[in-house]
């Protein structure tokens, strides 16, 4: 890629979730447009003026949360920002992945670019420098009830505290900053609060989840088509005249995908009329996968609207005679939390119906294939236990599909008494997606093994391409090595896009819309 195509500029157009993915996952450089920098600097001048006032302004010259009535002296404001990061950096557990921290960093820059935070331009410059220099703060994954903690750990790196990943090594932040010639920042009024406030953490995590869910939706249609063909399904259930009567966009998309992927299957032609009706896990693929796609579209709209929002508290709002500091609740992440919770339900459904199809592929009573997809059943168990693994992962996903946003606690005295758990919802969604990819990997293995056993290979062009793609890296399973190795290799295949890219020529709707409509 050219330097131009590896760069994302924030500020001239409304930011898209895919731009966050480019920066976080693909290493794109990031910058702010001149107009965005102007808004950042104007709001900062207002904060610096307000900081000298004796009138209480929340978070600028007062304490935080339940301490909002404590007015601070001028010489205490830098200490307030410093201590805010130190006290809020109390995350727990396994660190977030590098791409997750980068997504959060990117969303923080986007949040400040709107020009309502009043944060120091040097802080925004520092965050951009961390991204572009590939310095990634080590951020514990657990401990957040809505926001604050993840961003506090990121803020530590800016002032030379905590650990970071740099040049494939973990090291003290100060050492990495020295290596790129970047002095640790001295935070001013409101800087510490602006760093920990807002919804960048949950929004960044959600952007990556959207990218994964888009890929999952494509694979679900591809692998579902393979299982349908291997089991000799009745194509009439996918007729355009039928799916057109279900007035949901996702149903139309999946129905079209299945028709295109299964076009000209001589194998299905031979099975036509063998039964009046297939099991629901086969004939309802458009309706179930389609409903999941519609939830993806909803989540994408909600996440993108959050990217377009200013989510700091307080906000520095332009008024007729200057700026007004307004304490409000824009950092509350209910919209993102609900989007992640609903998408987790959809991901659970994608995995659940995949497990049902996998069951039919290995069950002798449900097909005309060799029992458990081995020609030596008895001495060999074939794919019997692979289905057990899929069932276990789906059971896990059903638990993870319980919403996080409906939970609640009271924190910070009586001040913070309704919490979004948006970061919990996003991290839960991430785990649900990982489980779902493994479930689909197992179905992919089973469907390919089933296609191996049919008398001829006159399958549809689309399903043949997917089947042969797996066979390029994995032969038919003969039980000469542990099956988990094939499951892992197939899972890795699903993280790639080459097969999807090739099949887009056959089924253009495989990937859900990448640009939400408003």
Nearest CA to 235 out of 210, 250, 255 is that of: 255
The H or E element spanning position 299 is: helix 285-307
DSSP string, 134-163: T-EE--EEE--SSSSHHHHHHHHHHTT-SE
Looking up tokens 């731009």 gives: 19
Helices 17-26 and 200-230: angle between axes, nearest 10 degrees: 90
Helices 200-230 and 422-453: angle between axes, nearest 10 degrees: 20
**Encoded tokens for 124:** 């925004």
**Encoded tokens for 263:** 């076009």
The DSSP output letter for 383 is T
Please give the pLDDT value at position 50: 84
3-state secondary structure 73-123: CHHHHHHHHHHHHHHHCCCEEEECCHHHHHHHHHHHHHHHHCCCCCCCHHH
Fold assignment, 206-309+338-505: Fumarase C; Chain A, domain 2 (1.20.200)
Side-chain half-sphere exposure of 373, counting CA atoms within 13 A? 29
Q: b or e along 29-63 (b: 16 or more beta carbons within 10 Å of the residue's beta carbon)?
A: ebbbeeebbebbeebbebbeebbeeeeebbbbbbb
**Which region, left, alpha or beta, applies to residue 202 given φ > 0 means left and ψ of -120 to 50 means alpha?**
alpha
**Encoded tokens for 272:** 């036509």
**Encoded tokens for 228:** 């349908």
58: annotated active-site residue: yes
CB atoms within 10 A of CB 320: 5
Looking up tokens 């602006």 gives: 194
The domain ranges of the chain are: 7-197, 206-309+338-505
Please give the pLDDT value at position 290: 97
SS3 31: strand
- Of these residues, 28, 58, 116, 444, which one is catalytic? 58
Looking up tokens 């020529």 gives: 505
Write down the CATH number for the domain with range 7-197.
1.10.275.10
Beta strands 140-142 and 92-95: pairing type?
A: antiparallel
Please give the pLDDT value at position 320: 86
Cα–Cα distance for residue pair 421/235, rounded to 1 Å:
44
Cα–Cα distance for residue pair 29/35, rounded to 1 Å:
18
Along the 518 residues of the chain, how does pLDDT read in single tens digits?
334 569 999 999 999 999 999 999 999 999 999 999 999 999 999 999 888 887 878 778 776 666 667 777 777 778 888 888 988 888 999 999 999 999 999 999 999 999 999 999 999 999 999 999 999 999 999 877 777 889 999 999 999 999 999 999 999 999 999 999 999 999 999 999 999 999 999 999 999 999 999 999 999 999 999 999 999 999 999 999 999 999 999 999 999 999 999 999 999 999 898 889 999 999 999 999 999 999 999 999 999 999 999 999 899 998 988 888 888 888 888 899 999 999 999 999 999 999 999 999 999 888 888 888 888 877 778 888 999 999 999 999 999 999 978 777 666 655 666 667 788 899 999 999 999 999 999 999 999 999 999 867 799 999 999 999 999 999 999 988 999 999 999 999 999 999 999 999 999 999 986 655 54
Cis-peptide into 314, omega within 30 deg: yes
Please give the pLDDT value at position 515: 55
Cα–Cα distance for residue pair 258/140, rounded to 1 Å:
42
Provide the sign of the torsion angle of the four alpha carbons 190, 193, 194, 195, taken in this order.
positive
Please give the pLDDT value at position 1: 35
Beta strands 7-10 and 29-32: pairing type?
A: parallel
Nearest CA to 15 out of 207, 191, 151 is that of: 207
């Amino acid at each position: 890629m050219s330097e131009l195509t590896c760069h994302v500029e924030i500020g001239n157009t409304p930011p898209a979730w895919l731009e966050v993915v480019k920066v976080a996952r693909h290493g794109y450089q990031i910058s702010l447009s001149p107009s965005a920098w102007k808004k950042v600097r104007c709001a900062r001048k207002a904060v610096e003026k307000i900081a000298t006032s004796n009138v209480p302004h929340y978070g600028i010259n007062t304490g935080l949360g339940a301490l909002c009535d404590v007015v601070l002296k001028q010489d205490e404001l830098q200490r307030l920002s410093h201590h805010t990061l130190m006290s809020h950096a109390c995350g727990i557990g396994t660190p977030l992945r590098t791409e997750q921290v980068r997504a959060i960093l990117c969303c923080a820059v986007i949040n400040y670019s709107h020009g309502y935070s009043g944060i120091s331009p040097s802080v925004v410059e520092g965050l951009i420098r961390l991204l572009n220099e590939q310095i990634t703060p080590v951020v514990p994954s657990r401990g957040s009830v809505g926001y604050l903690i993840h961003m506090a750990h990121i803020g530590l790196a800016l002032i030379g505290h905590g650990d970071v990943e740099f040049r494939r090594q973990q090291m003290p932040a100060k050492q990495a900053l020295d290596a790129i010639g970047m002095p640790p920042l001295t935070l001013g009024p409101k800087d510490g609060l602006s760093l920990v406030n807002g919804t960048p953490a949950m929004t960044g995590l959600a952007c990556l989840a959207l990218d994964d869910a888009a890929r999952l939706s494509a694979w679900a249609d591809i692998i579902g088509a393979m299982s349908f063909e291997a089991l000799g399904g009745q194509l009439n259930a996918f007729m355009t005249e039928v799916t057109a009567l279900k007035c949901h966009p996702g149903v139309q998309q999946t129905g079209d995908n299945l028709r295109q992927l299964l076009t000209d299957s001589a194998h299905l032609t031979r099975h036509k009329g063998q039964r009046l009706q297939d099991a629901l896990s086969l004939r309802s693929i458009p309706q179930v996968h389609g409903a999941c796609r519609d939830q993806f579209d909803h989540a994408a709209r909600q996440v993108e609207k959050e990217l377009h929002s200013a989510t700091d508290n307080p906000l520095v709002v332009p008024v007729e005679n200057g700026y007004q500091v307004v304490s409000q609740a824009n950092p509350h992440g209910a919209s993102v939390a609900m989007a992640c919770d609903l998408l987790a339900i959809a991901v659970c459904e994608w995995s659940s119906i995949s497990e049902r199809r996998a069951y039919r592929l290995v069950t002798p009573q449900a097909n005309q294939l060799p029992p458990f997809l081995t020609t030596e059943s008895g001495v060999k168990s074939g794919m019997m236990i692979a289905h057990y693994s899929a069932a276990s992962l789906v059971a896990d996903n059903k638990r993870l599909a319980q919403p996080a946003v409906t939970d609640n606690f009271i924190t910070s005295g009586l001040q913070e008494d309704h919490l979004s758990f948006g970061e919990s919802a996003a991290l839960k969604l991430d785990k649900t997606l990982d489980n779902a990819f493994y479930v689909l990997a197992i179905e992919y293995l089973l469907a390919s093994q089933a296609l191996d056993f049919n008398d001829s290979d006159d399958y549809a062009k689309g399903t043949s391409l997917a089947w042969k793609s797996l066979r390029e890296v994995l032969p038919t399973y003969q039980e000469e090595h542990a099956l988990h190795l094939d499951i892992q290799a197939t899972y890795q295949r699903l993280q790639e896009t080459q097969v999807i890219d090739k099949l887009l020529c056959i089924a253009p709707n495989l990937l859900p819309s990448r640009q939400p409509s408003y």
